[in-house]
Homo-oligomer: A and B are copies of this chain.
Amino acid sequence: MRKTAEFLKENDNYLILTHRRPDGDTCGSAAALCVALREMGKRAFLAENEDITKKLAPYVSGLSAPDGFTPDKIIAVDIADEKLFLKSCERFRGKVDLCIDHHPTNTRYAKELLLRDEEAAVGVVIYDLAKELGVTLPLRFYESVYLAVSTDTGCFKYANTTPKAHETAAACMAAGVDFHRINTAFFIAKTGARIRLERELFDKMIISADGRICGTVITRDLIDEIHADNDDLDNLSSLLMQLESAFCGVLLTENKQRGEFKVSVRTRAPVSASRICAAFGGGGHDRAAGANISGEPHACLEKFMKEAEKEVLCTTGS
């Protein structure tokens, strides 16, 4: 931590990278770091994230690098692997000077790595780092940190939540963050399209293995019909795990290319999502993994659920 603070004090002209399919932690942490560096009198920018969603856009607005900016130092936040670099940032492979992360799977691609895998979010690491830097921090810093921490813990609901995540949130709230506006946008408010998607998810849900596996296909026709965007589609698969009997949720979302599906698998221990997805050339974590598959929607879902059934019966007993 002290070494990282020294690095940030000694250098200048920073470009901060966020990961593809960005979430609140990568955007919030990057924005918080950028704001803190600027308070130190440094030039700091975010690399423009072409995957940014409407909901996250306000949190990175005004921080993007201008055309022609040549950074001295490249910093990656919340990026475990260079494979997660944006298309527009492929050119920075092998060139990251500092990576700040909390994923135990970090591939150590950066020259310097500040890895705190005990923290629920990189936002907490940035908060600690800013204290180490001893700089006065504006409200936007605290807003960005709150966004990072709340979104990465499912608003303090998930198993990864720590006492320190709560304490960091308390500090942000005490600094004046309008936390309820953030919570409303990310955890309460739903567009009409999102509500419709959730209904379809449960209306079309197929259940197998005595309620232990739930699967649904969301077709592109439906997405187009209800004008759902990427924010609306975000994290839908976790809803399949709400059924209290569920050990495994399988969601197929049809790509713009009809007949091709992005598959998102969520599980409860001891069922492994990455083992199920590996059978289709995909991968990920134990609790969340993904793959791609193509063909007729319900045949695809059936194939995936068959594979899930093997894993579920083998790990939870038939």
- Which residues of A are at the interface with B, using a C-beta cutoff of 8 A? 155-159, 161-164, 166-167, 169-171, 173-174, 179-180, 183, 187-192, 195, 199, 202-203, 211, 241-244
In angstroms, Cα B156 to Cα A167, docked, is 12
From B163, B195, B244, contact of A189 by CB (8 A): B244
Chain B residue with Cβ nearest A269: B180
In angstroms, Cα B183 to Cα A242, docked, is 11
A-B contact pairs, 27 of them (CB 8 A): A155-B156, A156-B166, A157-B183, A157-B187, A157-B188, A158-B180, A158-B183, A159-B180, A161-B173, A161-B179, A162-B173, A163-B169, A163-B170, A166-B166, A166-B170, A166-B173, A188-B242, A189-B242, A190-B242, A190-B243, A190-B244, A191-B244, A192-B243, A195-B202, A195-B242, A195-B243, A199-B199
Contacts of A170 in B (CB 8 A): 163-164, 166-167, 170
Contacts of A162 in B (CB 8 A): 173
In angstroms, Cα B191 to Cα A195, docked, is 19
Contacts of A167 in B (CB 8 A): 166-167, 170
> Nearest Cβ distance between residue A140 and chain B, in whole angstroms?
19
Contacts of A192 in B (CB 8 A): 211, 243
> Nearest Cβ distance between residue A266 and chain B, in whole angstroms?
11
